Amino acid sequence: MCKFAVEHINLMIITMARPIKETPILYGEDARRFEERMREHRHISAEEKARIQANYEALKATANF
Amino acid sequence: MVDQDIKAQYRIYKLGDNEQVKSFDCGDVDLNDFILNDAFLYRKEKLAVTYVYMNKDNSDDIAAFFCLANDRISLADFETKTRYNRFSRRFANPKRLKSYPAAKIGRFGVSATMKGKKIGSILIDFIKNFFLVDNKTGCRFITVDAYAEAVPFYVKNGFVPLNNDDINERTRLLYFDLKDLETY
The ipTM (two decimal places) reads: 0.87
| Domain assignment of residue A38, yes or no | yes
pLDDT at residue number B90: 63
- Cβ of A26 within 8 Å of Cβ of B76? The answer is yes
| Domain assignment of residue A9, yes or no | no
Nearest to A43 by CA among B179, B141, B102, B154: B179
- Cβ of B11 within 8 Å of Cβ of A18? The answer is no
pLDDT tens-place values along chain B, 184 residues long: 557 888 899 999 999 988 999 999 999 999 999 999 999 999 999 999 999 999 999 999 999 999 999 999 999 987 777 776 776 666 655 557 799 999 999 999 999 999 999 999 999 999 999 999 988 899 999 999 999 999 999 999 999 999 999 999 999 999 999 999 986 5
Tell whether the model's pLDDT for residue A14 goes beyond 60: no
| Domain assignment of residue A25, yes or no | yes
Nearest to B69 by CA among A60, A65, A51, A8: A8
Task: Give the confidence band of A4 by pLDDT, cuts at 50, 70, 90.
Answer: low
The answer to whether B173 and B143 are in contact (CB under 8 A) is: yes
* Interchain CB contacts (distance < 8 Å): A and B: 138
Number of domains present in the structure of chain A: 1
Q: Among the residues of chain B, which ranges form H helices? A: 3-9, 29-33, 39-44, 81-90, 119-133, 151-156
Whether the CB of A9 is below 8 Å from some CB of chain B: the reply is no
- Cβ of A26 within 8 Å of Cβ of B31? The answer is no
pTM of the predicted model, to two decimals? 0.88
| Domain assignment of residue A2, yes or no | no
Residue/partner pairs of A31-40 with CB below 8 Å, 24 or more apart: A31/B75, A31/B76, A31/B77, A34/B73, A34/B75, A34/B162, A35/B75, A37/B160, A37/B177, A38/B177, A38/B179
| Domain assignment of residue A36, yes or no | yes
- Cβ of B45 within 8 Å of Cβ of A20? The answer is no
Residue A64 sits in which domain range? 21-65
Whether the CB of B115 is below 8 Å from some CB of chain A: the reply is no
Scanning A28-47 for CB atoms below 8 A from B yields 28, 30-31, 34-35, 37-38, 41-42, 44
Task: Give the confidence band of A16 by pLDDT, cuts at 50, 70, 90.
Answer: confident
